[in-house]
Each structure stands twice: as structure tokens, then as C-alpha cells.
Structure 1
């Protein structure tokens, strides 16, 4: 298990389409474990392999974990693809571990059906809605070289990227202390007022 260094925007790797995984090997399982360790350490709820510099189509998620260390359902998605999505949209204030301290409201389908391979090499189909659906769509975007700021206006996107570039040059990049997805309705933390992830 290891905490892996994050790829921070702007970085060309975040705009690169990741390659499919041909076989679920022990190396892939170790990478998934390291990605979970990194995600929890950085207080995220989802992480794509490209965000730790590995350009393969794998992502992990746990939108239920608590700041006291209690973990929720751990999802590993290998070669995921969205089969269908609801017409009903939902607006979340999203953040991203590769965009520390930056947030933007992004509209996505409320629910999705996803096909993916799990760590046992089994091909599965699952339905997701709410926060987990948003997280899954956000991370699949990463695998396709798309980042959440691509869903907002060019002006807002350029402001965020310039801000990050300046932070990187000054060496003051620090990762957020709050939940990366917030409901548009009240912008409170999803897990309540005392939640800090």
C-alpha cells in the first residue's frame, strides 16, 4: 500500500485518453489498493488512475467513507462504460483532487447504468444515482481525457487553470479539506455539518 503523488492541473496527462486494461493482474490489484489509500489520504471520494500518472482505464470510488476512518462501499471500475443515463439532470458543485481548492457547478444526469470489470475479472452492470452517479461520471470523464472544468464556460475554466498554474509556480498547492461534490440545493457537506471530506 502506498500514497501516490497526484497529477495536478494543468498537466497534459489529464487531457489524454487512458488505455484499456487487457487483464486483471496482481499489479492492477495493487494499483487499485494504492489508489484507495491515496484517495482516502487526500480526502476524496473518487480517483482515476490517470490522476496518479497511470494511463489505464481504472477508477475507484467510495462516497460513504467517514472522516473518522470508517470506510463505506469500495467500488473498483475497470474499463467502465456508461450504457444509459437518465434524462433528469442534477447539479452538483464539483471539485477534483487534480484541481485542489477549485470548485464549479456541473450538471450531469441524475442516474446512470454502467458496465465495468471488477477486481475479480467479472464483467458487471450496475445502476447508480445521486452522488455516486456524479462521481462515476466525473471519473469516467478522466479516463477519456475530460476534466470537470470542461463542462463550464471557457471564461470560468481559464480563470481556474490560471489560478492553478500560479499556485504550482509558487509551490503553494494544497489539497482541499472538504467533500468534492456538494448538492446545489444547500451546498452543505453531503455527510453533514461536521464532515470534513
Structure 2
């Protein structure tokens, strides 16, 4: 059995993070199993709860979400506040499409492995319905709520070329400009390998 490989995570400023990613033919896509396995390995090594393929420099519509680990770490009261009767998920999303967003919204802090050492308050729908292929390449249409839905939306944004920074108000974006440039320049440390844009191009 092939051993998993840790992949460098693309840093803010790399153009792949702004690409709208393409669907794949999951049955014919070369190295799909290895890519997904390496993404899980990379995500956990970086201490993340989600990871999208463009974050490892592969601009296709694949992302991972693990909200179960977060659920297990929370106290009962927090679970009631952040989860809606579920216990979180560990799932692969391939060729995903959000087909419905609930009217209720809520705001919570989000960070991103591609934007280390920063976080911001983001308003998102409490519930979503999404169609996708799971890790077994089976078609799914499911509705998710609360923190699980937030994690899915965050990763889904990545395959649409959107970052959580885009939801921040102009004042907050301006305040983060210098820190973001430091990340793009490789001057903000992360405890995992990162891939930066080619400054010579």
C-alpha cells in the first residue's frame, strides 16, 4: 500500500487560490486515490479541519471536511450551539455543487491554512444542501447545518476561487493588508510546508 505524502499548502498570493476549479471524471482521473489520501494526510499534519485541492496546487473540484474531531473536542453545551443533532462528518467532496442555502445566517470566526496566523468573523447560512460524489464515488445530496455547514462552505469557496477574506468589510481588509503581504512574501511562519507564488514571473 502506498504511503501518504505531505504536500505543501499554497500560501495567500498564489494565483491558484483565485481559480474557479474544474470538475473531474472521478472514474478516470489519474491518481485520484493518491491525491485524496495525501490531502487527508496533509490536512491532519497541518492541524486543519478542511482542505481543498487548489490549496495543494491542484485546481479541481475536490475538498475534504472533518467536523467530527471538533465535535468530539467540544463540551455538551457547545455541541448544542454549533451542531444541529449531528456528530460531525469526515467526508470527501468531489464535483460538489451547493444547491440550496438556508435563510438563517450566523457569524463565527474562520481561519485558513493558506492564510496562517490570521482569522476573521464571517457571516454564512446556518444550513446548506449540497450534491457531490463522496470518497467512495457515490452520488450524494445532503443537507448540513451549523459548524459542519460552515466548514463545507469555507472549502467550497476555495474551489470557486473565493477566500474568507472576501467576506470581511473593507476596513478589516485594509487593516490586514500588510500581514497578508507578509504571508505572500513567506515572512509569516507556519508549522507546515507552504508553497508561494513565483515572484519572478
- Same fold judged by TM-score > 0.5? yes
> Compared with structure 1, are the counterparts of its residues 47 and 91 closer, same or farther at alpha carbon in structure 2 (3 Å cutoff)?
same
> Compared with structure 1, are the counterparts of its residues 44 and 170 closer, same or farther at alpha carbon in structure 2 (3 Å cutoff)?
closer
1:65 has 2:69 as partner: yes
Residue 120 of structure 1: CA displacement?
A: 2.4
Query: Aligned residue pairs: how many?
Result: 172
Counterpart for residue 171 of structure 1: 187
Residue 148 of structure 1: CA displacement?
A: 0.3
Residue 106 of structure 1: CA displacement?
A: 0.2
Equivalent positions of 1:99-114 (< 5 A) are 99-114=115-130
**Structure 1 residues 158-167 or 46-55, which shifts more?**
158-167
SS in 1 for 2:12: coil
> Compared with structure 1, are the counterparts of its residues 168 and 144 closer, same or farther at alpha carbon in structure 2 (3 Å cutoff)?
closer
1:41 has 2:45 as partner: yes
User: What are structure 2's unaligned runs of at least 5 residues?
Assistant: 71-87, 193-201
Equivalent positions of 1:1-197 (< 5 A) are 1-24=4-27, 25=29, 27-65=31-69, 73-169=89-185, 171-175=187-191
SS in 1 for 2:140: strand
Question: Which whole-Å CA distance do the structure 2 matches of 1:120 and 1:14 have between them?
Answer: 26
Q: Is the 8 A contact 1:9 1:161 kept in 2?
A: no
User: What are structure 1's unaligned runs of at least 5 residues?
Assistant: 67-71, 177-197
Question: Which whole-Å CA distance do the structure 2 matches of 1:4 and 1:124 have between them?
Answer: 28
Which of the two has higher C-alpha Rg? 2
Q: Is the 8 A contact 1:48 1:60 kept in 2?
A: yes
SS in 2 for 1:82: strand
Residue 175 of structure 1: CA displacement?
A: 4.8
Q: Is the 8 A contact 1:45 1:61 kept in 2?
A: yes
